[in-house]
Every structure is written in structure tokens, then in C-alpha cells.
Chains A and B, each alone.
Chain A
Amino acid sequence: MFLQVSHLNKSYPDTVGTLTAVNDVSFTLAVGEIVGLLGSSGSGKTTLGRLLTGLTASDSGSISLDGQIISFDSQKARRSYYRQVQYIFQEPAASFHPMHTIGKAIMEPLLHNGYSHAQAQKRVNELLQQIGLPAEYADRYIYQISGGEAQRIAIARAISIRPRLLICDEITSSLDTLTQQKIISLLLSLHKQYGTALLFITHDIFLAAAFCRRLLILSKGRLVEAGNTQTILHAPQHPATQQLLEAARNLTI
């Protein structure tokens, strides 16, 4: 195991008191593992994803990588963690600076990680080729490309420094099914080539089941079921899992 999440908690104030978005969540990820994190809207998926990257500070609990507890307060510790763990957002276009070119966006993490300008530029070309976009895209701005292309570029930016884990938060939810298929194939080819682990956050259990070997089910902030994908599909234990399956079955051909 390389990532260990122990007893994470996060609450927010809301109109009636406090909302516990993540409630005592613990799980582990093995090196190179592909895991699906499932739940309906409001189950706490995005909050958990943000806690795992320190974008939101937890109230209590810990995250450790290779046995070392990560302190998100220290910039040095954060930087070294981000070299290994990268996050991809649901809305691709909103995760880019609108006035920076795509080339500049992909280059940024490289320049922070010791690449010279020339080396970084060379790597940008390699990455664009890898995600199947022409080299000219480096000079475009985010508003000049489609949602699916923007999401591929977000992946290129995240993998530029070859992280060991990619956290993907509903990254195909705003895309059509054909584009979704392309994005999943790209992720799987990266996994195959570099052994990148994936934590794939989604509400679509069949999508996750198509390529994740293990599933984690969140409901009302709690991890209510976890296990082998086939076992969960055949014999879902928790009502939340059963509801996710029933809804998905009703919406498939």
C-alpha cells in the first residue's frame, strides 16, 4: 500500500447547523491500483477528493504516503506530495487560466519541478502527441477548444511530471459518451505505460465497473461499502449501493 487515509473528517456550517461532508473515512490504495469512488450528488465525493489533495483542510484524520503523514501546512511537504499525487477537476475549462496559452498551462508544473524552459517545451510537445492533439494546440487558449480536448489537456498537465496517483473528480460527467470513451482509454493507456494509480470519482457505477477493480461507496459522508467490483455488482450490501445500481440499470439500454 502506498496511500493510507485514516479517519478523515470534514464538516461545514450550513443553514440548520453543521453538515458533515466527510465522516470518519479510512481506506488504502496500493501502488498502481485503479479504484472507483462512487456516490450520488452530495455524498461527499468531491470534498473527499479535495481533502486528499489538501485543497480543503480536514478537521481531523490523516493522509500518509509511503508511511509518511503529509502535513499540508508545509509548502515543501505539499510540493513533494503533488509530485506524486495530481488532481483533475470536473469542469476542465474552469481549471485553466483563461489568459494563458495551453502550452504555458502544461509547462507550469514542469518549470516548478526543475525543467529548463527548453526541456519543458520539448515535454509539452511530447505530451500533446501522447493525448492525440496537434502541436499547434500549445498556442491556443482554453476558450478555443472543446470540452473533451480541454479535459485531455488537463490530463496532460497532470501527468507531465509523472505522478504515481491521479485523482479524477467526475472528469467525464460534462462530456458526451463518445468523448468519455476516449478519455477512459487515454487514462488506461497511461496506467499501462507508467503504472499510474487512479482514483476515479463518479456517480455512474457501470462506468467505474468497466475498468476499476475495486469500488468504494460513499453515502452521506460515510464509506458504507468497499470491495471487489464484481462482488459489489453481484451482491451489493448497503442500500446506497443498491440505489446506485438500480438507477444505473434503469438508464442503460
Chain B
Amino acid sequence: MSAFKLTLNNVSVAYGKCPILHDISFSLTSGQVIGLLGNSGSGKTTLLNTLAGLLPQAAAASGSIYWNSCQLLHNPQQAKLRGKKIAMLPQHTGSSLFPLQTIREHFYLTLQAFGSHEKELVVKKASELLAALHFDQPAAILDSYPFQLSGGMQQRVCLALCLLLEPQLLLADEPTSGLDVMAQNELLQQLQALRKCSDSAMLITSHNPGFLCRIADHIIVMHQGRIIETAPPDQLYQHPKTDYTRQLLAAVPRSSV
């Protein structure tokens, strides 16, 4: 897989007079995993939507986002990257699946969107992906409707859909929210395994520092739409520079044992 570089320069986003993101700048290359840490309302989801080209029309964005040498912001080409080069795992995976279609049809549609109609190939690939994500019976999952799956299973199905086209960048929005600790732990192990076997980059948002430090090379702390701190996990957790980061770290319940 060819390498890529994503570069954000002074990206700001506002809804009307309400600013959401201020001057966001950072870059990300193949194989790198960056964690975006911040509270509800810090702008994490808006940032991912901006990168995926999913901002609503009412949002005004400025600055620049380069995918290698191609500027994405306000560029209709951005939609062509989404799904193929840049995959997005949305926060509410349950509501992002179509209720009246089986999981098999979801895989067909994903591939059709990029011009391929080889159904047998899709089924083979989908089964492999589902097996790799620890589904014991991929065939039964392919025949299921979304409502027949638990929240954790829906999450894994969405992850498999994201990986179908071997994206170079995976955007994951609060992938642990709504999952119990067991399912969170499982997802963590799957993302770690994914890192080992591919050169995909990941940008993962969470308000749980513990989860991010197990998977990310770098953590970016966001507060009120700004980047307030960037550091490797160990350095961030041992020597947080801002009060806000200290508060976030202190709010995580820990074992007293």
C-alpha cells in the first residue's frame, strides 16, 4: 500500500456565529495512530466529520487539509476518497446500519459504491474480515439484520465494512462509547491487531485516556474546539502540561489495588 500524508493547516469550523473548531493544525502519515482526547463538546466529532467531508451545509470551514498534495477542503473530490481511502467508523454504529437490509447486503452496497459487482468475492472477503474480528459464524452474521446483533457486534460489523476497501486512514469516533468494559477490551485488541498487520493510519476519538494510551502513538488533547496539548501517551500521562488534561486524567476511576 502506498504511503500518504494528511496535513491540516489552521482548520476552523463554525455553525453560523457559533465557532466549533479553532485553528487546528497537525499531520498524520501511514501507520501512525493518533488519539483525540476531550470531553463532550470539545469538537472531536466535528473534526472527524471535516476530514471525512461530512460537514453539514450550514457549517463554514476555513484553512486547508492536504491529502498528499491534494487540497480536500471545499473540493468535490473529497467524497471520492471517503470509503475508499478514508473510512469512518461512526459513533452510533447501530443507527448507521440500514435496518431493512442484511449485513450481506451492506457489504454488497459498499463495494457497488466503488464500481465492483463481484458478489462472490465480496462474500469471501467479508467472511474473512468477520472471522478476523472474532465472529465464530461469519455466514450467520451475513444473513442477520442489524437488530439481531448486540451493540458490540454491530460495532464489529461496521469495522469490517470500514476495512473492506483497505482504507489508508481509519477515522473512529468514540468507538468505545456504549460498550461494556469487556467489549471495549475486545475492540482494543482488534485495533491493536489491525495495526500489526496493516499500514493503515488511525485517528481515534475518546474521552477515555486509558483506552487511547493502549493504541495511540500520539495523543492530541482538545478543549473547546482547540488543541491544547500534544504528546506521546506516556509523557502526557506522567507530565500533563495543562490543568484541563490533569482533570481529565484524574476523572478516570482506577484500581486502588
Contact = CB atoms under 8 A, between A and B. Distances in A.
Most chain A CB within 10 A, of B41, B211, B251, is at: B251
A7 to B, nearest CB: 27
A207 B256 CA distance: 11
A174 B213 CA distance: 21
**Residues of A contacting B: mostly:** helix
A244 B255 CA distance: 12
Most chain B CB within 10 A, of A209, A243, A251, is at: A251
A250 B189 CA distance: 10
Interface in B210-257: 210-211, 213-214, 237, 247-249, 251-257
A243 B180 CA distance: 12
Contacts of A95: none
Interface string A228-244: 00100110000000011
Contacts, number: 95
A42 interface: yes
Interface string A1-18: 000000000000000000
Interface in A132-184: 146-148, 173-181
Contact of A175 (B40, B180, B181, B184): B40
A41 B150 contact: yes
A253 interface: yes
A148 B251 CA distance: 15
A44 to B, nearest CB: 13
Contact of A177 (B152, B208, B237): B208
A63 interface: no
Given A251-B188, A253-B213, A176 B39 contact: yes
Given A206-B254, A209-B255, A250-B214, A244 B181 contact: yes
Contact of A203 (B181, B188, B248): B181
Interface of A: 40-42, 146-148, 173-181, 203-207, 209-210, 230, 233-234, 243-253
Given A173-B178, A230-B257, A251-B181, 13 more contacts: A40-B182, A41-B150, A177-B251, A179-B39, A179-B40, A230-B256, A233-B255, A247-B185, A250-B188, A251-B214, A252-B210, A253-B249, A253-B252
